[in-house]
A and B are shown apart, each in its own frame.
Chain A
Amino acid sequence: MAEWLKDVEPLTLKGRIAVPYSWWVGDTGSRFLMSLRDDRKILGTKCPSCGTVFVPPRKNCGRCFVDIEEWVEVAAEGVIEAHTIVHYAYPVQPVKPPFAYALIKLDGTDVGFLHLIKKDLDKIKNGLRVKAKFKEERTGSILDIDSFELI
């Protein structure tokens, strides 16, 4: 034991900061979320310069640094590119473990779409095909897609 602990009690001051935020999604992101909520459709945008199809959609291409105007509807299914199965519980997680985070390349897109897989965790492998399962009650959030399921 450290010498000073014999005479001094190591006190702490407890604190907590809870700061509410409202993040504006913007016109491009809002259009994407409205489409999830109202039509159960996943939209992307396509860079006029390099042709990359982004989902969620981007207002500009970071690589080419040009504006993007073109919208494309992409498939609600695709291929697992990479994944992990989470075993530890933590308050910020969207669902209780075990569950999987997966990067899914939706058909017709060029980037990984980050989402959840909740079922068949013992069967998940990179390269397998999955399909989006939409929630019945949708609010205009990325979690209007409940999760992806193996096809």
Chain B
Amino acid sequence: MGRRVAIVGVGQTYHKSHRPDVTSREMIREAVTAALADAELTIRDIDAIVIGNMDHFESINYVDTYSVEGSGGVMKPIMKVSTGGTTGATVAIAAYYHVASGLFDRVLAIGFEKNSESDTTGAIITCSDAIWDRFSYSGAIPSLATEATAYMEKYGATQEDAAIIGERDRNNALNNPFAHLRRPLTVADIMASPMLAYPIKLGDICPRSDGACACVLAADGVAQKIARKPAWFKAAAVRHTYTWFGDSTDYNKGLVSMQRASKDAYQQAGITKPAEEIDVAELYLPYTWAGLKWIEDIGFCGPGEGVRFVRDGNTHMGGKIPVNPSGGVISTNCIGATAMLRVAEAAIQVMGRGGKRQVPDVKNALATGFGGCFWSDVVILSTERP
């Protein structure tokens, strides 16, 4: 059994399609400075750092070294962790392992991306097997679209059903001063947007953003002195299936890695009725359909019940289990930071610092990360020290 660990400070940059005013390193520094200020610590208080971004995106492979001026990692233990779309959540989980191990008391976790500096799809396809799968499924959209058609045919979900997710998240983003896209988007807007790969339209997918996020994690005994209301780790789970697109997912069964990761997380957290016991969720939903299908895999509702569950308002602000009060990935997507933003926003909800996007009386918050060939991370944070 590791030590108990909590998030005691979070920081994020504002997000835009491009940040010509700063380099990656300078952008990282903005998030780190904000996180340290939030925890009322200085860089001298930090014992170790974990940092991550997407491989190939900025063409800087040794970001642990490259970033030190911005991360504060000069002459400190610093490691890079990169796991594709899940990177930000995996970085947070690796930082959690650092503290839980007993070797470090205060650890900084950092995720960042400058999507504007490269060809996102050209970089993303390197997650596919070079010999067998890279000729096809170029980039993220076609593989997600395939999942969506399977779900449509199995349960009769419509494009309008999916568009509700986009409308919901983009509406939520109006409450988040850090969000990239802060204009409302309606179901009608999404339906009228151009078709990319059936049934995914331009309005169904996430944008490309520049931005960074940082979290300060601290050990039991230290955390209580730093934060009035620490966000305690109750669970952290990582699951990978296969890289072969034909094997990795039974498209008709669901996102197996998310099912297994959340099952493990609920066991760690002692949660038996997720929809009753989780108060808010920050889910890595890169496209609208995920907001219908993946909430089934996470166990918020049963198989095929996603559309009904969403249409009944359960996942909207004020509903049973609000999803993505921040506006989610559909509103902000600085990929290496995206999954960390889910963890950070869950921590913000637990710490009660959400301002206009705060859900009242949050005890347990769930965050997910999603990556490449359908792998998943799940984190559960709580006001309750486990």
Contacts and interface: CB of A to CB of B under 8 A. Distances in A.
A113 B150 CA distance: 15
Contacts of B149: 82-84, 126
Range for the number of chain A residues in contact with chain B: 35 or more
A36 interface: no
B135 A143 contact: yes
B276 interface: no
Contacts of A92: 121-122, 125, 134, 138-139
Given A83-B146, A84-B146, A93-B138, A29 B251 contact: no
Interface residues of B, number: 39
A33 to B, nearest CB: 9
Contact of A113 (B59, B134, B141, B246): B246
Contacts of B247: 54, 62, 111-112
B251 A103 contact: yes
Contact of B150 (A15, A82, A91): A82
B244 A23 contact: no
Contacts, number: 100
A112 B142 contact: no
Interface in B149-179: 149-150, 153
Interface stretch (B101-109, B195-203, B228-236): B195-203
Nearest to A125: B153
A103 B244 CA distance: 11
A81 B196 CA distance: 20
B197 A84 contact: yes
Given A21-B130, A83-B146, A142 B246 contact: no
Nearest to A81: B251
A50 interface: no
Given A103-B251, A112-B245, A114-B245, A86 B142 contact: yes
A90 B138 contact: yes
A10 B246 contact: no
A93 B207 CA distance: 21
Contacts of A94: 135-136
Contacts of B147: 82
**A15, A29, A81, A143 — which one has the most chain B CB atoms within 10 A of its CB?**
A81
A57 B59 CA distance: 33
Interface of A: 2, 4, 10, 12, 15, 17, 21, 23, 25, 29, 54, 56, 62, 81-88, 90-94, 101-103, 111-116, 125-126, 142-143
Which 5 pairs between the two chains have the least Cβ-Cβ distance? Answer: A112-B246, A84-B145, A10-B20, A82-B150, A92-B138
